[in-house]
Every structure is written in C-alpha cells, then in structure tokens.
Amino acid sequence: EQYLSRYQDAAHYAKAPCIGMDTCMAQDQQAIADSQSDATTVRKRANDALLTSVLRQQETLQSDAQALASMQRAASGATGQMQAIQSANQLASAQTNQLLQIRSLLIAQQNALATNAQVEADRDAQKFAADRKALSGRNSQSADRQW
C-alpha cells in the first residue's frame, strides 16, 4: 500500500502545487525531487533483484546439470522396480525444483516490469497535468526578478 501511494494519476497532479495550483514553494519542489529520486531507487532495486536472481540461477546451473546427468545414469542403470521408482522420483523432484527456480525468475522479472511501468505511468501523469496547465491559458505571471 505504501509503495503504491508513491505513484499518482493525472487528476492528482492537476491539483498539486507547482503543476495545477498557482503556488509552488520550496517544499513542494523538494517533494517533486524526492518523488523522482524514489522512482529511480525503486527501479534500481527491482532491477538489482532481477539480476541477483539471474546470477543465482547461473551459479546453480552447472551443479543442477551434473545432478540431473547423475540421476539419468542411475535411472538407466536401475535393475529392479524399486530402483527405477526411486530414480523416477528423484528426476521428478529435480524437475519440480527447476520449475520453482523458473517461477522465481518470472516473479523477479514481473516485479521489475511492473515497477518500470508504474514509474513511467507516474511520469506520464505529471507531464499530462503540466501540459494541461500550460495550455489552459490560466497561467499566472512569474514574480518580478531584478537581475
């Protein structure tokens, strides 16, 4: 819930200071900067989690392949019904483990994709609200500055 509250839609930004309202204080500007910083942090964490999952899979790939080859040799050399059943159970267990590893990778990938999509949607909402404000003809004149 807290994660989702970081991201808003265009209606929210249309009412926000610095975009929809005619007041923009330093704290409002800081809130926007913090939001953008949070978005990059969340995106990096999701990508790091994905890459960590891939790295773990690469590390276990060789040992999994060796274990599978050993089980296949045992299954082909099984002499009795009991040995054949045990070998089949070991192979089934290895396949189940591999399916769990694939599922883990898919979850990490979906998390990274969803995070990226949410950050992009939030950025699009900000742009949309800013564009509507700029094109509405109700902009206020900036404060006079003496240079």
Q: What is the pLDDT of residue 3?
A: 64
- pLDDT classification of 116: cutoffs 50, 70, 90: confident
- pLDDT classification of 142: cutoffs 50, 70, 90: low
Task: Check: CB of residue 140 under 8 Å from CB of residue 22.
Answer: yes
* Torsion angle of C-alpha atoms 63, 65, 66, 70, degrees rounded to 10: 140
Tokens of 124: 């699009």
Cα(7)–Cα(120) distance, rounded to whole angstroms? 10
pTM score, whole prediction: 0.58
74-98 confidence digits (pLDDT tens): 888 878 888 888 888 888 988 898 8
Task: Check: CB of residue 9 under 8 Å from CB of residue 125.
Answer: yes
Which of 63, 96, 91 has the alpha carbon at shortest distance from 78? 91
Alpha helices in the chain (DSSP H): 10-15, 26-76, 81-135
12-47 confidence digits (pLDDT tens): 777 777 776 667 788 877 877 888 888 888 888 888
